Amino acid sequence: MELQAIKERLKAARSPVALTGAGISAESGVPTFRGPDGLWRNFRPEDLATPEAFERDPALVWEWYDWRRSLIAGIRPNPAHYALAEFERRNPAFTLITQNVDGLHRSAGSGNIIEIHGSIWTVRCIECGNSSENRDVPIKILPRCGCGGLLRPGVVWFGEALPEDLLYRSFEAASSADIMLVVGTSGVVQPAASFATRAKDAGAFVIEINPETTPLSGRVDAVIQGRAGEMLPRLIG
């Protein structure tokens, strides 16, 4: 399908949804968790990104997250992030579901976001449960809540379930979508991998934007091979 036809579909959408993954942030220079330049190259995920690791050595975990925050702090949204924010301004019914924790969508101006894996710029108290934004770089280690409790990164770790309310909202958005963009994600990580399937089963027109073919490519309605930062502005601009 030609880009112009997809562009017209997006203009006419009543309940559009987008799902974004690490690929869209990689175009801004955010290191990915996988691949030769991945954040995880020199660390075993289970050593640093689990509740058990935090309980065992919270200072080590916070040092790693402080390093990650310092890498992301100077990175800016790219044209793909801004295009999705513009799409929301034009269509307030638009819902953005992201697997990314870097906060670049919010920095670009998106507001109706479901951050299913949390945000690296959020901290949560392990005692009182209070969550708040914290953009300190470097962050004081160990950070403490006003109640005196230890703060942890506000992200979903290995071995933890995704928040039920965010999952519910995501599946509701996918079920009611008439068009869905799947951008920069391989479509294999669950449960996010189910969102596109849920949308398609409900009758949505599903479009994948990715530089490479993915396991999802054969199951969507249109595949656009290319960089999100190039393709999304052309579709939404």
Which residues carry out catalysis? 117
β partners of residue 183: 20, 209
CA distance 219 to 15: 21
Tokens representing 68 are 């990650």
Task: Report the relative pairing of strands 118-125 and 151-155 from DSSP bridges.
Answer: antiparallel
Please enumerate in sequence order all residues whose Cβ is within 8 A of that of 38, keeping only pairs 6 or more positions apart, or say none.
31, 32
CB atoms within 10 A of CB 133: 11
CB atoms within 10 A of CB 68: 19
Please report how many Cα atoms fall inside a 13 Å half-sphere around the Cα of residue 223, on the Cβ side.
15
Strand blocks (E) in the chain: 16-20, 95-98, 113-115, 118-125, 131-133, 151-155, 179-183, 205-210, 222-225
Please enumerate in sequence order all residues whose Cβ is within 8 A of that of 196, keeping only pairs 6 or more positions apart, or say none.
19, 174, 180, 182, 187, 206, 208, 216, 219, 220
Cβ contact 232:96 at 8 Å: no
